[in-house]
């Protein structure tokens, strides 16, 4: 006869096994090969309105006490063109109600499907960058300090941005487009009952995403709807108008066609042109060779690969930027309209500045000029310097400070 304690132990063991088997495995598959024939301009999207949740699928995650989903939702760009976007939502496992939300704006990855963060292996993870010694991928992906956000009860939203895995080319550094993608993902996540996202949210972002997180505080009332932004954290922010008006570092080739353009400059011009096709042309800034390289490589090469291609072909075949660009008034108007730092922020701003070696990707002068714009526009900004961090170590270093700062605003 089986002893009742033995029977109970067997039942518990079977239940534990069943629970373990029900856990969703982490997807470590490599991203699919991107198409070389994807169109730069997306066809009109008529499948919903901004904030609509189109689909969500649960995925595995290594974050303790968390569940995660890949999502597809609806947003709109700087010119109110409706777009389709993907991303990831991560939330605590236990049941909750009206949870705090943090929406993450990722850094530069590229212009097309080869740069889609949620397509990387195990996307619901802590941030790993291309330059980390243990990195195996061409893109930075993940959320800095993700475990800490989950431990503190946050729902974390991480948009891919339009064009990175969805139709059309990504509007790189069109800060207001990326900001809307971040905010409309919060709207979409609130439609997921299992997530229990509340109406109060904070934002963090890095590099390109630092410019996006800055613009999250500068959107229109209709973009927020029933949401309340408590504050935004900009890590080494790339505000488009500052980069355009201060041609140093990544934008140095603005004033010199005799040097190869950094891929960030190439992508910035391509991003604003695809957002404003009735006003801007690639030929305003690029030579025929530059256009040929861009139109061939944009969807299949992430940022660092694209940078190498432009540098090599410039050296082999000649200039890729026009010596005398044209249509400059329209370019400045479009860049100003899409940039952060052009309106008074609706919530406090924390800027985390990587000061090592003068800023190793986003120059310190760009960061301080953005802060000056916030003050000029009547906003509130706090600046925290990280003198021992370069651009790529900054987000993981400052994530605990970002969490603490936002916690104080809820």
CA distance 73 to 48: 9
CA angle centred on 80, ends 79 and 85, rounded to 5°:
110
At 9, the pLDDT band (50, 70, 90 cuts) reads very low
At 359, the pLDDT band (50, 70, 90 cuts) reads confident
CA distance 366 to 173: 14
pLDDT of 23: 84
CA distance 248 to 360: 12
H/E element, 213? helix 208-216
CA distance 56 to 379: 36
Assign residue 80 a region (left: φ > 0; alpha: ψ between -120 and 50; beta: otherwise).
left
Of the candidates 312, 305, 276, the residue with the CA atom closest to the CA atom of residue 115: 305
- In the predicted model, is pLDDT for residue 17 greater than 70? no
- In the predicted model, is pLDDT for residue 180 greater than 80? yes
The structure tokens listed for 398 are 């400052």
CA distance 23 to 16: 11
Predicted confidence (pLDDT) per residue in 72-98, tens digit: 999 999 999 999 999 999 999 999 999
Of the candidates 128, 129, 130, 116, the residue with the CA atom closest to the CA atom of residue 33: 116
- In the predicted model, is pLDDT for residue 28 greater than 60? yes
Query: What's the rounded mean pLDDT across residues 125-138?
Result: 97
- In the predicted model, is pLDDT for residue 126 greater than 80? yes
Query: Which domains are assigned to the chain?
Result: 53-241+347-407 (3.40.50.1820), 247-335 (no CATH)
Write down the pTM of the prediction: 0.94
Predicted confidence (pLDDT) per residue in 299-349, tens digit: 999 999 999 999 999 999 999 999 999 999 999 999 999 999 999 999 999
DSSP state of 4: H
CA distance 271 to 282: 10
pLDDT of 22: 62
| HSE-up (13 A, CA, CB side) for residue 150 | 25
- In the predicted model, is pLDDT for residue 1 greater than 60? no
With 0-12 / 13-18 / 19 or more C-beta atoms within 10 angstroms meaning exposed / middle / buried, residue 410 is middle
What value does the mean pLDDT of the chain take? 94
CA distance 107 to 5: 55
Beta-bridge partner residues of 157 = 89, 103
Query: What's the rounded mean pLDDT across residues 37-58?
Result: 97
Beta-bridge partner residues of 122 = none
Query: What's the rounded mean pLDDT across residues 53-61?
Result: 98
Of the candidates 75, 6, 42, the residue with the CA atom closest to the CA atom of residue 219: 75
At 272, the pLDDT band (50, 70, 90 cuts) reads very high
At 255, the pLDDT band (50, 70, 90 cuts) reads confident
Of the candidates 61, 66, 65, the residue with the CA atom closest to the CA atom of residue 25: 61
- In the predicted model, is pLDDT for residue 186 greater than 90? yes
- In the predicted model, is pLDDT for residue 20 greater than 80? no
pLDDT of 4: 44
H/E element, 350? strand 349-354
Q: Which percentage of the chain shows pLDDT scores above 90? A: 92
CA distance 238 to 408: 25
Answer for the pair 341, 234: CB distance below 8 angstroms, yes or no.
no
């Amino acid at each position: 006869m089986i002893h009742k304690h033995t029977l109970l132990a067997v039942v518990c063991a079977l239940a534990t096994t069943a629970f373990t088997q029900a856990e969703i495995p982490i997807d470590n598959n490599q991203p699919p090969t991107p198409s070389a024939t994807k169109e730069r301009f997306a066809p009109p999207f008529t499948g919903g309105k901004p904030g609509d949740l189109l689909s969500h699928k649960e995925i595995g995650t290594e974050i303790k006490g968390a569940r995660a989903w890949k999502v597809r939702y609806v947003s709109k760009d700087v010119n109110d063109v409706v777009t389709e976007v993907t991303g990831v939502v991560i939330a605590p496992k236990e049941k909750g109600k009206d949870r705090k939300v943090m929406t993450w704006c990722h850094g530069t990855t590229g212009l097309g499907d080869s740069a889609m963060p949620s397509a990387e292996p195990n996307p619901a993870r802590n941030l790993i960058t291309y330059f980390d010694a243990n990195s195996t991928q061409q893109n930075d992906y993940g959320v800095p300090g993700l475990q800490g956000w989950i431990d503190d009860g946050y729902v974390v939203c991480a948009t891919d941005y339009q064009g990175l895995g969805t139709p059309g080319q990504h509007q790189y550094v069109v800060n207001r487009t990326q900001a809307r993608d971040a905010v409309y993902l919060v709207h979409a996540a609130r439609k997921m009952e299992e997530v229990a996202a509340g109406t109060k949210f904070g934002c963090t972002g890095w590099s390109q995403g630092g410019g996006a997180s800055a613009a999250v505080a500068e959107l229109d009332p209709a973009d927020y709807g029933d949401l309340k932004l408590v504050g935004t954290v900009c890590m080494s922010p790339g505000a488009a108008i500052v980069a355009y008006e201060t041609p140093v570092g990544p934008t140095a080739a603005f004033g010199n066609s005799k040097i190869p353009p950094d891929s960030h400059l190439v992508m910035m011009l391509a991003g604003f042109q695809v957002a404003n096709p009735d006003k801007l042309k690639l030929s305003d800034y690029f030579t025929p060779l530059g256009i040929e390289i861009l139109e061939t490589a944009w969807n299949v090469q992430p940022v660092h690969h694209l940078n190498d291609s432009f540098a090599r072909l410039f050296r082999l075949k000649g200039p890729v930027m026009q010596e005398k660009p044209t249509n400059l008034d329209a370019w400045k108007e479009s860049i100003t309209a899409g940039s952060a730092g052009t309106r008074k922020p609706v919530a406090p701003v924390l800027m985390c500045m990587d000061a090592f070696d003068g800023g190793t990707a986003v120059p310190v002068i760009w960061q301080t000029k953005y802060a000056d714009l916030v003050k000029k526009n009547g906003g509130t900004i706090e600046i925290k310097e990280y003198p021992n961090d370069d651009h790529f170590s900054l987000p993981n270093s400052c994530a605990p400070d970002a969490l603490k700062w936002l916690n104080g605003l809820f």
